[in-house]
């Protein structure tokens, strides 16, 4: 039971330390795409610790599972994991982690179902507010204009994704600002940011007491917007997308005192108007490679006893 315990300890350590280290770093705002990758690797490592610990605990508790896990392995490798020393703790650990895995799957399924219901409801409301003209096909237009007094624009994902924008937003957006908003929303769609948001929300809602999952959800919401801002700014300039953000959010109270919905918008505008230098290509590659190695650590911990036995 030493290896499963070590894996659980490693996962707990990563779930506490990683969010603090990333919160202190000053580069995620400068490189949001790299930061998204780092966060995914950290969460993958934590989940991998749990999966490997569950597998090894189950193999120590039940002979049938052990036969599948160590099928064909030499006896010295099996003995290196001490399967006979697990006792009732091995079964309890395996069952608890299996329940956690099932709960995670259930939370993710619930999140996906809710997202589909919201999307279906949004499309139904869109058809009511903007009915199709005779001979017009559903989803034929990527841009849909709605009559509305509140400036707003959002991307409606699906098999035929569409950008929905209100007439108030059209009156406010000048020049290439509308194109910048469209590029921003297309950046979300191309990178499939909706899946990142669904997965992070499922983990955070399923395990609200785990720091890394709560931080993962919060950072995903923030970083995907920064990444989409960068996509738009590369095509139309930082000033254009910054002014578009101001025009769309000026009446929502986000630029005043206090915490309002969308309180991250002022920080996004400030980041666009006062850009900091990007990391060098070599530094970005180093961070990407280092993050990719993080999920490898629990795999190495799980395989060390077997490799030692073979050596």
Instruction: Please give the model's pTM, rounded to 2 decimal places.
Output: 0.87
Spell 263-281 as b/e; 16+ CB within 10 A means b. eebbebbebbeeeeeeeee
**Which stretches does DSSP call E strand in the chain?**
143-146, 153-156, 162-166
Task: Annotate 74-113 with DSSP letters as a single string.
Answer: -HHHHHHT-GGG-HHHHHHHHHHHHHHHHHHHHHHHHHHH
With tokens 């994704």, the residue in question is 161
- Spatial neighbors of 129 by CB under 8 A, at least 6 apart, are 146, 147
Q: pLDDT 10s per residue in the chain (311 long)?
A: 688 889 999 999 999 999 999 999 999 999 999 999 999 999 999 999 999 999 888 888 787 877 777 777 777 777 777 766 666 788 888 899 999 999 999 999 998 898 888 888 877 777 777 776 666 666 555 778 888 888 888 888 766 777 888 888 888 888 899 899 989 988 888 888 888 999 999 999 989 888 899 999 999 999 999 999 999 999 999 999 999 999 888 877 676 565 555 568 889 999 999 999 999 999 999 999 999 999 999 999 988 888 787 77
């Amino acid at each position: 039971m030493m290896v499963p315990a070590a894996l659980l300890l490693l996962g707990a350590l990563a779930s506490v330390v990683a969010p603090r280290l990333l919160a202190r770093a000053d580069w995620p705002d400068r490189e949001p795409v790299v930061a998204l990758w780092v966060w995914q690797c950290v969460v993958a490592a934590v989940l991998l610790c749990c999966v490997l610990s569950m597998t090894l605990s189950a193999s120590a508790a039940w002979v049938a599972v052990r036969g599948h896990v160590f099928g064909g392995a030499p006896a010295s490798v099996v003995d290196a994991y001490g399967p006979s020393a697990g006792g009732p703790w091995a079964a309890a650990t395996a069952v608890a982690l299996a329940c956690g895995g099932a709960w995670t799957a259930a939370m993710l399924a619930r999140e996906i179902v809710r997202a589909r219901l919201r999307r279906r409801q949004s499309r139904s409301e869109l058809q009511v507010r903007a009915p199709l003209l005779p001979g017009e096909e559903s989803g034929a237009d990527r841009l849909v204009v709605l009559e509305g007094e509140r400036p707003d624009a959002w991307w409606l994902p699906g098999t035929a994704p569409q950008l929905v924008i209100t007439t108030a937003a059209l009156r406010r957006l000048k020049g290439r600002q509308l194109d910048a908003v469209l590029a921003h929303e297309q950046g979300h769609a191309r990178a499939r940011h909706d899946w990142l948001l669904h997965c992070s929300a499922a983990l955070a809602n399923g395990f609200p007491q785990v720091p890394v999952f709560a931080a993962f959800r919060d950072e995903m919401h923030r970083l995907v917007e920064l990444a989409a801002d960068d996509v738009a700014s590369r095509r139309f300039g930082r000033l254009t997308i910054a002014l578009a953000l101001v025009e769309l959010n000026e009446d929502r109270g986000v630029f005043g005192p206090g915490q309002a919905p969308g309180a991250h918008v002022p920080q996004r505008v400030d980041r666009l108007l006062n850009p900091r230098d990007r990391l060098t290509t070599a530094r970005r590659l180093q961070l990407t490679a280092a993050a990719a190695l993080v999920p490898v650590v629990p795999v190495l911990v799980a395989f060390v006893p077997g490799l030692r036995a073979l050596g």
